[in-house]
């Protein structure tokens, strides 16, 4: 029997949690060793995921590394596997998690041990979500992630953390119950929850519409899509830096992944039926969220709204049902994972030094923090979609794909690019350029230290590499995307 | 006779302990331990006779896997109640030797209720356990609230017993028999009068399980009674009453399913909803747990209303998980003492995470489980119920249930908020009681790791429920 590499990836962080819990001694010793353990665990996980990637068969559009065993008798099996689409999201998760841990061990002041435990548990749930090939298992990981994230926002967050944590939890919980009903209804109608079997056997048409809606509500809340997005700015603003990074870089991608895997994979007829509906919501999200982002005075809120807008591209890309659109959507998810992570880390860098997220408290940062300014401007430009960065490829491909299907939507969505340039560049102008002035005793602003440089430059280099040579992602996902497009095309 | 061992042992030991207690001064120090050992032994006795299926005393008393399962559950509840309440009773100076004996007698009543196959036997068991419960509620004679709780419970409980007895007499009047299987034979034709009996009896049982609108007593009684008694109230009587209800609905009234299903669904929806909404305003943990248990009873009733083998299995699983969640939560509540004073407000939980990380993490896990968040056991409990509901395509019940689960999540999250997010208060006394520690950790482990092997319990309950009808 082969080594269960995916199970290892999913549950290895929990082993780290156990080791951290078992450490005894003075607070200082425990703290230091829990830092070391969590770094070690997350880095090993990343290396293992690279190994997984090296073994991955690019030509095979189906699921690989599949592990299956009976779990709840006659009902749910423990079945996991990855295909071209999900393996990148797994890689993204294993890549971002160590960065989060590195970024937070120096800046966090209280309860570091518990924080690291929460992050590691979160990692298990996130990898599990992308690997699960059983609807029940997916739901378990999808919902389970709420617990650590709720605690991360609530314990280590800013002033209004309680409100934000509750809002985040209740919103997502309310959304997901509809998915639960849909999953149960699928079970009684199809007698299986196995994703592969469900994709092969067609779900009856009259059922598809309701099931699609059930999944849609819960995924749209998590994405978040306009008008279900209001929890996101609050959660982002109050969450600690690492929490924001995980939220933006990975949690938001779960929905995009869910749309491709479930909405398109299981309910193709309903997806066609509702495509225009999704287009309308996405276009509103892009334009509205960009306009709202323009007016923000809080940097994190601005980036949060820009995330809403960028997720709008993901959904129009997915629901264009074209190869370019889907390619673009997946590319956009990964690229947004890198760019938003780096933007949130940048804001975290400023916040650690000055303890303010307000734009008006900063001006002319470039004069004292040149390296920081470089990274910040670069990330903002990548966020705008400057050619040469990965942001450009994602947006461009989704717009091409959408143009084929519905040019009005494409044109409207393209205005978002201009708006995003407006708010990003204006943010840069206000914070980075101008005369040096920082409120709140920020006279001694130190430039990036070594850890921060390593983290941010790694993200930056990846953004450029993917931007210059997008085939790194597009080629591996191509066969899986072809399969999805073919399935969707068969419906028309 | 072999099958009656548990009942006989409880009866004889409670009498002999009572007599010994009267003559011995130092007895109340060890009586707790004697009874704990006795209960643990009884669990094994019931377990070894698990598969036996007999009817005794002229078809009025049945022992079958269902009753054995429920008895085990009652025994577990009583055992853990005893384990966690030792120190509490001593601190409050109510550690009288009568206390555990009344508990035992009440357990006997529940056993009779669970095994009853006859309206009279059922009523006898119910009254035996209720009378003991009235006394237990008022056992802290120095506390005004406890006396009030006892009196309130007694007055309202008698009223409901009266309703139930009236229902029984109606049923007897129209069928000429009190035997369940005899009633089932006569009840085939649609006789309206039998429905009257059904309604009255349902009201009586709904009172015992505190289903809305018969729940009024429960917050007051939960709050007023000593916490150890509240622990008991929250678990054992509900298990017994639900066992009796399962039998009552599915044996004598099996042919009236369309009639009672509507009633039970109404009770269920009202309980789920009120349990979720009314708990939001509470500041006392015990009151909160009262509303929480009303909500849980609502989910259990939803499963009962469906009445398929699937849904009855879900009910049994739910009961098991419910019992373990309550053991844990009440063990937490009973560890909040400082200088001989027990604290029971939600705001008293602040700072737990700083001074008592173990209790804090356990209570967090249990609370998330009560709210029904995966991958904890509470989620599976609710999930099986919804699985059964949607199989019967009663979507509105599922939607109401899930919505109230979301509303309820709000107040459970508030508990976690107080534990982790609020500023720390003074620490509580370090706990040296192994009973509380063991119960807390044991129940948390059960709740946390249930997901690893849900199948074992499912297999057991499925083998039970397929024979109910």
pLDDT at A330: 93
Task: Decide if A155 and B420 are in contact by the 8 Å CB cutoff.
Answer: yes
**CB contact A362 to B (< 8 Å):** no
**Lowest model confidence (mean pLDDT) among A1-15, A212-226, A232-246:** A1-15
Q: Percent of chain B, pLDDT > 70?
A: 99
CB atoms B373 and A143 under 8 Å: yes
- Chain A residue with the nearest C-alpha to that of B395: A181
Average pLDDT over residues A187-202: 87
Tokens at residue B160, please?
Answer: 């409901």
> In terms of residues, how long is chain A?
492
CA distance A48 to A65: 13
pLDDT at A443: 60
Q: A83: closest CA among A69, A68, A65, A97?
A: A65
Question: In this complex, do A150 and B413 lie within 8 Å of one another by their Cβ atoms?
Answer: yes
- Under an 8 Å CB criterion, which residues of B touch A? 368, 373-375, 379, 383, 386-387, 390-391, 395, 398-399, 402-403, 405-406, 409-410, 413, 416-417, 420-421, 451, 454-455, 458-459
Distance separating alpha carbons of residues B345 and B285, to the nearest angstrom:
5
A165 close contact with B: CB closer than 8 A: yes
- The model's confidence at residue A363, banded by pLDDT at 50, 70 and 90, is confident
Residue B391, min C-alpha distance to chain A (Å): 6
Gap between the Cα atoms of A369 and A447, Å rounded = 5
- Are residues A346 and A372 in contact, defined by beta-carbon separation less than 8 angstroms? yes
What is the DSSP pairing of strand B341-342 with strand B337-338?
A: antiparallel
Does ipTM come in above 0.85? yes
Of A390 and B189, the one with more pLDDT: A390
Is A143 part of the contact surface with chain B (CB cutoff 8 Å)? yes
Q: What distances in angstroms separate CA B268 from CA A193, A228, A475, B297, B409, one per listed residue? A: 29, 31, 55, 7, 18
Name the residue among A183, A219, A177 with its Cα closest to residue B400. Answer: A177
Confidence of residue B76 (pLDDT cuts 50, 70, 90): very high
Instruction: Measure in Å the smallest separation between the Cα of A136 and chain B Cα atoms.
Output: 10
Strand ranges inside B398-453, DSSP E: none
pLDDT at B350: 87
- Which residues are CB-contacts of A256 (< 8 A; sequence separation ≥ 6)? A223, A311, A314, A315, A318, A329, A330, A333
CB proximity A213 to B under 8 Å = no
Q: Does position A198 have pLDDT exceeding 70, yes or no?
A: yes
What pLDDT is stored for residue B107 in this prediction? Answer: 94
Residue B190 confidence class, pLDDT cut points 50, 70, 90: low
Q: What is the pLDDT of residue A108?
A: 80
Q: Which candidate from A147, A170, A185 shows the least CB-CB separation from B390?
A: A185
Q: What pLDDT is stored for residue B116 in this prediction?
A: 92
Closest CA in chain B for residue A161 = B421
pTM, to two decimals:
0.93
Contact status, residue B425 vs residue B350, Cβ threshold 8 Å: yes
Contact criterion met (CB below 8 Å) for B293 and B301: no
> Are A188 and B455 a contacting pair at CB < 8 A?
no
Task: Tell me the average pLDDT of chain A.
Answer: 89
| Residues with Cβ within 8 Å of residue B308, at least 6 apart in sequence | B388, B391, B392
Decide which of A127 and A440 is more confident: A127
- Who among B368, B398, B413 is closest to A181 (CB)? B398
Q: What is the pLDDT of residue B355?
A: 86
The nearest alpha carbon in chain A to B416 belongs to A151
Res A1 pLDDT > 80: no
- Provide the 10 A C-beta neighbour count for residue B467: 11
What is B196-250 written as a DSSP string?
Answer: HHHHHHHHHHHHHTT-TTS-THHHHHHHHS-HHHHHHHHHHHHHHHHHHHHHHHH
What local confidence, expressed as pLDDT, does residue A397 receive?
93
Contacts of B421 in chain A (CB under 8 A): 154-155, 161-162, 165
Q: Do A146 and B373 touch (CB under 8 A)?
A: yes
Question: Would an 8 Å CB–CB cutoff place A166 in contact with chain B?
Answer: yes
Q: Which is nearest to A378 in space by CA: A393, A389, A365? A: A389
Question: What is the reported pLDDT for B430?
Answer: 78
Q: How confident is the model at residue A306 (pLDDT cuts 50, 70, 90)?
A: very high
- Taking CA atoms, A212 is separated from A291, B79, B218, B270, B460, in Å, by 30, 48, 42, 30, 35
- Helix (H, G, I), strand (E, B), or coil: what is residue A79? strand
Distance from B304 to chain A by nearest Cα, in Å? Answer: 19
Contacts of A161 in chain B (CB under 8 A): 421
Among A70, A143, A187, beta carbon nearest to B374: A143
Tokens of B436: 């509380």
The span from the CA of B113 to the CA of B118, in Å, is: 10
Contact B386 A155 (CB under 8 A): no
Give the closest-approach CA distance of A189 to chain B in angstroms.
9
Tell whether the model's pLDDT for residue B242 goes beyond 90.
yes
Binned at pLDDT 50, 70 and 90, residue B469 comes out as low
Say what the pLDDT of residue A492 is. Answer: 62
Tell me the pLDDT tens digit for each residue of A175-194.
Answer: 888 999 999 999 998 888 88
Percent of chain A having pLDDT more than 70? 98
User: Which of chain A's residues have a Cβ under 8 Å away from the Cβ of B420?
Assistant: 151, 154-155
Whether A442 shows a pLDDT value over 60: the answer reads no
**For the residues A89-109, what does the mean pLDDT come to?**
89
Mean residue pLDDT across chain B: 90
CB contact under 8 A, B373 and A188: no
Residues of B whose CB is below 8 A from A174? 406
Whether the CB of A71 is below 8 Å from some CB of chain B: the reply is: yes
**DSSP 3-state assignment of B422?**
coil
pLDDT reported for residue A5: 87
Contact B421 A155 (CB under 8 A): yes
The answer for residues whose C-beta is within 8 angstroms of residue B37's C-beta and 6 or more apart is none
pLDDT of residue B324 exceeding 90, the answer is yes
Q: Picking from B140-144, B187-191, B238-242, B420-424, which range would have the lowest pLDDT averaged per residue?
A: B187-191
- Flag whether residue A184 sits within 8 Å of chain B, measured between CB atoms: yes
CA distance B358 to chain A (A): 11
- Per 3-state DSSP, chain B is made up of helix, strand and coil in percentages (nearest 5) of 80, 5, 20
Residues of B whose CB is below 8 A from A188: 390-391
Query: Which residues of chain B lie closer than 8 angstroms to A170, CB-CB?
Result: 406, 409-410, 413
Decide if pLDDT at A440 tops 70: no
A146 interface with B at CB cutoff 8 Å: yes
B163 to chain A nearest CA, in Å?
A: 38
Are A155 and B383 within 8 A, CB to CB? no
Contacts of B402 in chain A (CB under 8 A): 177, 180-181
Per-residue pLDDT tens digits for A444-463: 678 888 888 999 999 999 99
Do the Cβ atoms of B383 and A180 come within 8 Å?
Answer: yes
Residues of B in contact with A183 (CB under 8 A): none
- pLDDT band (50, 70, 90) for residue B255: confident
- Per-residue pLDDT reduced to its tens digit, B32-45: 888 888 899 898 88
Q: What percent of chain B has pLDDT over 90?
A: 57
pLDDT digits 0-9 by tens, B337-348: 888 788 889 888
The CB-side HSE value for B440 (13 A sphere, CA atoms) comes to 27
The nearest CA of chain A is from the CA of B432 a distance in Å of 20
Chain B CB contacts of A70 below 8 Å:
455
A118-144 pLDDT, tens digit per residue, is: 999 999 999 999 999 999 999 999 999
A144 with B398: Cβ contact below 8 A: no
């Amino acid at each position: 029997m082969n080594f269960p590499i995916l199970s290892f990836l999913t549950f290895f962080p929990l082993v780290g949690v156990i080791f951290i819990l078992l450490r005894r001694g003075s607070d200082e010793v425990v703290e230091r060793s829990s830092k070391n353990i969590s770094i070690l665990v997350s880095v090993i996980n990343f290396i293992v995921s690279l190994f997984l990637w090296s073994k991955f068969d690019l030509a095979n559009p189906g699921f690989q590394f599949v592990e299956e065993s009976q779990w709840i008798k006659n009902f749910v099996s423990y079945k996991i596997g990855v295909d071209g689409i999900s393996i990148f999201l797994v890689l993204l998760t294993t890549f971002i998690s160590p960065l989060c841990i590195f970024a937070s061990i120096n800046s966090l002041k209280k309860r570091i041990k518990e924080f690291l435990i929460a992050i590691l548990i979160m990692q298990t749930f996130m990898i599990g979500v992308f690997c699960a090939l059983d609807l029940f298992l997916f739901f378990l990981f999808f919902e389970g992630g709420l617990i650590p994230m709720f605690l991360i926002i609530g314990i280590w967050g800013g002033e209004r953390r309680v409100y934000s944590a509750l809002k985040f939890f209740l919103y997502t919980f309310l959304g997901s119950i509809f998915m639960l009903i849909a999953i149960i209804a699928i079970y009684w109608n199809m007698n299986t929850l196995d994703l592969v079997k469900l994709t092969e056997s067609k779900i009856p048409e009259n059922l598809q519409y309701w099931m699609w809606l059930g999944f849609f509500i819960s995924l749209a809340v998590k994405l978040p899509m306009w008008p279900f997005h209001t929890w996101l700015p609050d959660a982002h603003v109050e969450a600690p830096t690492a929490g924001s990074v995980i939220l933006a870089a990975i949690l938001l991608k779960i929905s995009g992944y869910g749309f491709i895997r479930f909405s398109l994979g299981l309910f193709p007829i309903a997806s066609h039926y509702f495509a225009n509906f999704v287009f309308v919501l996405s276009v509103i999200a892009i334009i509205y969220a960009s306009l709202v982002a323009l007016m923000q005075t809080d940097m994190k809120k601005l980036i949060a709204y820009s995330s809403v807008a960028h997720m709008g591209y993901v959904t129009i890309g997915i629901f264009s049902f074209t190869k370019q659109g889907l390619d673009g959507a997946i590319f956009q998810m990964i690229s947004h994972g890198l760019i938003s992570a780096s933007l949130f880390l940048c804001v975290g860098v400023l916040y650690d030094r000055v303890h303010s997220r307000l734009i008006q408290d900063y001006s002319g940062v470039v004069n004292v923090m040149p390296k920081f300014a470089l990274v910040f401007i670069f990330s903002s430009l990548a966020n705008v979609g400057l050619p040469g960065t990965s942001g450009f490829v994602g947006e461009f491909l989704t717009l091409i794909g959408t143009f084929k299907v519905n040019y009005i939507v494409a044109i409207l969505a393209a205005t978002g690019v201009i708006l995003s340039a407006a708010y990003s560049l204006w943010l840069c102008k206000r914070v980075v350029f101008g005369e040096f002035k920082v409120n709140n005793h920020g006279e001694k602003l130190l430039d990036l230290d070594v850890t921060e440089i390593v983290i941010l430059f790694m993200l930056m280099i990846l953004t450029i590499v993917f931007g210059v040579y997008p085939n790194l992602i597009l080629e591996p996902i191509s066969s899986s995307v072809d399969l999805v497009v073919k399935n969707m095309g068969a419906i028309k | 006779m072999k099958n009656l061992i548990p009942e006989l042992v409880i009866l004889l030991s409670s009498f002999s302990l009572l007599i010994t207690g009267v003559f011995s001064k130092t007895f109340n120090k060890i009586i707790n331990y004697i009874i704990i050992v006795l209960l643990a032994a009884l669990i094994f006795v019931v377990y070894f006779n698990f598969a036996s299926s007999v009817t005794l005393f002229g078809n009025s008393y049945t022992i079958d896997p269902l009753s054995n399962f429920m008895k085990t559950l009652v025994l577990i509840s009583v055992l853990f109640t005893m384990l966690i309440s030792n120190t509490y009773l001593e601190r409050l100076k109510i550690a009288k030797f009568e206390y555990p004996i009344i508990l035992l007698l009440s357990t006997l009543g529940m056993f009779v209720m669970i095994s009853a196959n006859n309206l009279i036997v059922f009523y006898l068991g119910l009254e035996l356990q209720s009378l003991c419960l009235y006394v237990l509620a008022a056992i802290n004679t120095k506390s005004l609230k406890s006396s009030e709780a006892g009196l309130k419970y007694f007055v309202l409980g008698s009223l409901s017993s009266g309703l139930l007895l009236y229902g029984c007499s109606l049923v007897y009047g129209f069928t000429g028999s009190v035997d369940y299987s005899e009633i089932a034979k006569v009840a085939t034709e649609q006789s309206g009068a039998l429905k009257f009996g059904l309604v009255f009896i349902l009201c009586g049982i709904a009172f015992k399980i505190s289903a809305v609108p018969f729940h009024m007593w429960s917050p007051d009684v939960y709050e007023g009674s000593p916490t150890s008694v509240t622990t008991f109230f929250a678990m054992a009587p509900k298990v017994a009453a639900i066992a009796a209800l399962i039998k009552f609905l599915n044996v004598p009234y099996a042919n009236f399913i369309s009639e009672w299903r509507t009633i039970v669904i109404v009770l269920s929806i009202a309980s789920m909803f009120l349990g979720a909404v009314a708990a939001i305003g509470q500041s006392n943990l015990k009151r909160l747990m009262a509303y929480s248990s009303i909500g849980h009873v609502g989910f259990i009733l939803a499963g009962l209303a469906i009445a398929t083998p699937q849904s009855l299995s879900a009910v049994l699983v739910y009961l098991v998980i419910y019992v373990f969640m309550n053991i844990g939560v009440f063990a937490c509540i009973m560890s909040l003492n400082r200088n001989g004073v027990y604290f029971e407000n939600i705001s008293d939980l602040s700072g737990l995470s700083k001074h008592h990380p173990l209790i804090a993490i356990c209570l967090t896990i249990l609370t998330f489980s009560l709210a029904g968040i995966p991958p904890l056991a509470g989620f599976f409990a609710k999930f099986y119920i919804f699985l059964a509901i949607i199989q019967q395509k009663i979507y509105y019940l599922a939607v109401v249930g899930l919505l109230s689960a979301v509303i309820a999540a709000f107040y459970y999250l508030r508990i976690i908020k107080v534990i982790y997010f609020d500023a720390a208060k003074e620490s509580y006394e370090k706990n040296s009681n192994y009973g509380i520690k063991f119960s807390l950790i044991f129940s948390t482990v059960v709740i946390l790791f249930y997901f690893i092997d849900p199948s074992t319990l499912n297999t057991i309950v499925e083998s039970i429920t397929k024979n109910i009808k």
